[in-house]
């Protein structure tokens, strides 16, 4: 089946076409503002499904709203009728179609045209009133506050928020694309006469700005967002996509001595601390125990011996570990423990502890294994 995508170079169009190809839809007819207008007639004859995403968001004058959002829709539908093509047509509208402004009026006119076309031809139409869509590849300083906030924060530029309490309804680009692919397969999510993405978020501009600002501080704090919060997780993924390529890496503080080094990678208040420990040949690290802290050790390079002894007992438990066999060793509470490099090269161990180190409450007690 040939799939026509108008607005193919836009934010939604790029994401949709990329995922269509990922799922082996290869016969895609791409139409954008720079495409030869004569091709639209040919595409309207051949297509088996239409994603009509083209539109105008930031015109030079208000009249362009109606030309871009109503006029192209009218041309497209007339061409489909000309060729007797009753392929399903999806149109990208906006929640602003409910508002009495030039942009909303042009979107509402496009919707009415679609419904009239369905009544006249019997073709299936899918009208989506999208809220603010965010995600990778959206243009900053255009019509997406999230894109602008991410772009500016990633470059240490200020964010301008006129009204932090202003309501903002968001939908994530991957959720939009998933819904459109469902629609392509006849499994669209309908709400009355309209279609909708089933997952959206009602927040405030101030909350979104604060979250994105906090992402800019994570490299210093070694924190990561709360991934159980779907919006926060998706906003963080979006933020990272706006980092300049030359800023994708960042240094960590290595605590180095003659035994090797210890470097924190991630530190969180609720999911613990993740670090990498390097021990020189013959070096033993540890010989301590914890009341509440528990750890996981994973040797990724070299050869090591982990020893554990339950406090108050004599029996020592030994685990020979190496980078040749990935094996996690749990370090329970109440067990004194150490790790020794028994190889001839550096011993590299990934270590996770359930709570980040706090000098005021170290919960670490020296005791030879």
Report, as residue numbers or ranges, the catalytic residues. 103
Q: In what order do the strands lie in the sheet with 284-289?
A: 316-322, 303-310, 335-341, 284-289, 365-366
Buried b (16+ CB within 10 A) or exposed e, 58-96: ebeeeeebbebbbbbbeebbebbeeeebebbbbbbbbbb
> Which helix (H) or strand (E) covers residue 201, if one does?
strand 201-204
Largest CA distance in the chain: 89
218 Cβ partners below 8 Å, 6+ apart? Answer: 224, 225
Phi, psi of 142 (to 5 degrees): -130, -85
Give CA–CA dist 121/88, Å, rounded.
11
Residue 324 structure tokens: 């040749």
Residue 61 structure tokens: 């004058």
Strands (DSSP E) along 32-185, which ranges? 49-52, 89-94, 125-130, 132-134, 167-172
């Amino acid at each position: 089946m040939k799939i026509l995508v108008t607005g193919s170079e836009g934010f939604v169009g790029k994401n949709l076409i990329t995922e269509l190809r990922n799922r082996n839809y290869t016969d895609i007819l791409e139409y954008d503002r720079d495409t030869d207008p004569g091709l639209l007639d040919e595409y309207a004859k051949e297509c088996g499904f239409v994603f009509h995403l083209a539109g105008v968001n930031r015109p030079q004058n208000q009249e362009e709203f109606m030309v871009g959002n109503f006029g192209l829709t009218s041309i497209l539908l007339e061409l489909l009728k000309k060729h007797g093509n009753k392929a399903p047509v999806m149109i990208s509208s906006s929640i602003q179609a409910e508002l009495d402004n030039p942009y909303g009026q042009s979107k509402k006119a496009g919707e009415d045209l679609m419904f009239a076309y369905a009544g006249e031809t019997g073709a299936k139409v899918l009208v989506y009133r999208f809220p603010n869509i965010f995600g990778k590849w959206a243009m900053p300083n255009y019509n997406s506050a999230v894109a602008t906030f991410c772009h500016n924060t990633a470059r240490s530029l200020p964010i301008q928020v006129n009204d932090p309490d202003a309501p903002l309804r968001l939908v994530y680009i991957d959720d939009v694309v998933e819904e459109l692919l469902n629609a392509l397969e006849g499994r669209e999510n309908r709400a009355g006469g309209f279609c909708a993405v089933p997952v959206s978020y009602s927040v405030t501009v101030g909350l979104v700005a604060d979250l994105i600002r906090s992402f800019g501080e994570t490299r210093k704090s070694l924190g990561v967002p709360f991934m159980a919060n779907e919006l926060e997780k998706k906003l963080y993924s979006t933020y990272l996509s706006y980092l300049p390529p030359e800023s994708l890496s960042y240094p960590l503080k290595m605590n180095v001595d003659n035994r090797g080094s210890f470097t924190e990678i991630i530190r969180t208040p609720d999911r613990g601390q993740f670090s990498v420990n390097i021990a020189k040949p013959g070096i033993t690290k540890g010989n301590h125990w914890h009341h509440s802290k528990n750890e996981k050790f994973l040797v990724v390079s070299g050869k090591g011996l982990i020893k554990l002894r339950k406090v108050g007992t004599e029996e020592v438990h030994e685990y020979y570990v190496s980078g040749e066999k990935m094996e996690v060793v749990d370090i329970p509470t109440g067990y004194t423990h150490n790790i020794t490099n028994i190889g001839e090269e550096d011993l590299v161990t990934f270590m996770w502890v359930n709570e980040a180190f706090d000098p005021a409450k170290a919960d670490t007690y020296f005791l030879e294994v």
